[in-house]
Amino acid sequence: MWGRPNLYTSYRAETSIFPTWTQRVLVVLLVAVAVLLPFNLPIINQIPFVRFLGDGDWIRITTQAVVFAIAALGLNLLTGVAGQVSLGHAFFLGTGAYASVYLGGSPGSSTWGHELPMWIWLPGAGITAALIGILISPVAVRLRGLYLAIVTVGLVFIGIHLSRLFPEISGPAEVGRDFQGLEFRWWKEAEPAISFDDNGRWLWFDIGGNQKTYLFTLVLLIMFVLIAKNLVRSRTGRALQAIRDRDVAAEVMGVPEFKYKLIAFAISSFFAGIAGALFASFVGRLPPESWDLVLSVEFIAILLIGGVGTVAGTLMGTFFVVLLPRFVEEFAVWMGDQAAGDSLWASFWDIFVATGGDDRGIVSTQQLAPGFPLPFNALDAVLYGVLVIVFLLFEPLGLYGIWVKIRNYWKGWPFTY
């Protein structure tokens, strides 16, 4: 039905993942750009403001965003679709990371590890996290609203304590241990069948390790996006939404609350476990303290900035939140460059930026500069708090809401509605 996007002629059409042609074309374009991003191709270079994401050290941050997107999709299923606010997502990421290193890491003098291949440790991480999620759900299912949020805060603290209790798995406190590399082996052979870590040659192309890691995580992300999209339109997804909208009413309609909340916890933890294992393996070494409340709050912020309950919004939010610190840093450095000299332009920027010494300003270009002016890594934390508040106050649907407004404007153009 060309030109009438809201007209569905069959149930199948209505529940399809990408119902309109515009969406299909956009998704194909987006995937194509994402796949070609790390390569220095003329096609990608033509698109302004995109190519740099796949270049140099930016690709590490882009990869981190891709990995975080998997975890954010999991939290979106629990918080956005099923309405259970969890501040314990970092705990499940940590569970996944340590399950994976127990299965796949190399044993040392004081650390455990079984050096199993990736096709065991990656699903293993997800399944362990899901089992832990099921284990805590008898407590969690009984709690509603803010009580649940507070209890999951406790989970994060208990998790950090437990990981310090077992230095054989998590490595010494504040230091951590080396995680397994992203390498595909059939079994424990010396040379990996496919390595996603080091430079090499795929088909006819020379390809760097960072680019390989990116492509691998991207494939996984696409898989998880499809899983999430599919789940929401299934019977389970509808049950979860019914529980979110009114749990008593859902139960009256015959939706078993306990069962579906348990499923939501398990699936969300599974996503988080996979993402945690990937993230740990990608970073290489993480202290047990990195799975803390700040990380959990970051995921909640991702959901809210992106748009609660929507997959597209979750992806936008992840990229926004993960890339923000780096943008702030670049902006601070740029301001520092502008402030050099004596011209009017330079003195204007000098108001905002402090380049060291007694120079006054809002942000300092030094990373380790306690006190005021704020170092830029403190500024990005402040900015991210401000953004969460601003989005909630003025655009509760987040970036997705902004997108919907733009879309609706062009849908009716040149008419106002």
Partner 1 sequence: MIEATLVQAGIFISQTPPDAASGASALDRFVTYVARGLAQGSIYALIALGFVLVFKATQTVNFAQGAIALIGAYLVSLVLIDWEVPGRWLGGNRYVVWFSAIITAAIIAALLGLLIERLVIRPMIGEPLFSIAVITLGLEAILRTIGFDAVSINNRNLGIPWGATGFEIGGAFIYWTWVFCLAAVAFAFAGVYLFFRTRTGIAMRAVAFDQEAAMAQGINVGRVFAIAWGASAALALLAAVCASMTPFGGGTVTAGTVTLAFRALPAVILGGLDSIQGALIGGLAIGLAEVLAGAYLGKYTPTLGVGFQLIVPYAVMLLVLLVRPYGLFGTPEIRRV
Rounded CA-CA distance 411/417 in Å is: 8
CA neighbor of 122 nearest in space, from 107, 106, 101, 108: 101
Which lies closer to partner 1 via its Cβ, residue 7 or residue 252?
252
CB of 154 to partner 1, least distance (A): 4
Rounded CA-CA distance 74/238 in Å is: 16
Which lies closer to partner 1 via its Cβ, residue 1 or residue 135?
135
Question: x-or-dash pattern for partner 1, window 250-279, by CB under 8 A?
Answer: --x---------------------------
> Both tokens of residue 99?
């399950």
The gap from C-alpha 169 to its chain's centroid, in whole angstroms, comes to 24
Q: Evaluate whether 332 touches 374 at the Cβ level (below 8 Å).
A: no
CB of 324 to partner 1, least distance (A): 12
CB of 98 to partner 1, least distance (A): 15
Which of 5, 15, 174, 327 lies at the binding interface for partner 1 (CB under 8 A)? 174
Query: What's the start-to-end Cα distance of the chain, in Å?
Result: 21
Rounded CA-CA distance 377/196 in Å is: 30
CB of 363 to partner 1, least distance (A): 12
DSSP string computed for 312-337: HHHHHHHHHHHHHHHHHHHHHHHHHH
Rounded CA-CA distance 375/396 in Å is: 30
- Confirm or reject binding of residue 246 to partner 1 (CB under 8 A): yes
Place of tokens 């795929």: 202
Question: Residue 278 to residues 35, 70, 172: CA-CA distances in angstroms?
Answer: 19, 10, 21
Which lies closer to partner 1 via its Cβ, residue 28 or residue 389?
389
Which of 71, 160, 267, 354 lies at the binding interface for partner 1 (CB under 8 A)? 160
> Both tokens of residue 257?
């609350």
Rounded CA-CA distance 32/55 in Å is: 17
Which lies closer to partner 1 via its Cβ, residue 193 or residue 253?
253
CB of 112 to partner 1, least distance (A): 17
Residues 114 to 153 in contact with partner 1, rule: CB under 8 A: 138-139, 142-147, 149-151, 153
- Confirm or reject binding of residue 285 to partner 1 (CB under 8 A): no
Angle, alpha carbons 157-162-168 (nearest 5°): 145
Residues 76 to 95 in contact with partner 1, rule: CB under 8 A: 85
Residues 340 to 399 in contact with partner 1, rule: CB under 8 A: 370-372, 374-375, 378, 381-382, 384-389, 392-393, 396
- Give residues in contact with partner 1 (CB under 8 A): 85, 138-139, 142-147, 149-151, 153-154, 157-158, 160-162, 164-165, 174, 246-249, 252, 289-290, 292-294, 297, 300-301, 304, 370-372, 374-375, 378, 381-382, 384-389, 392-393, 396
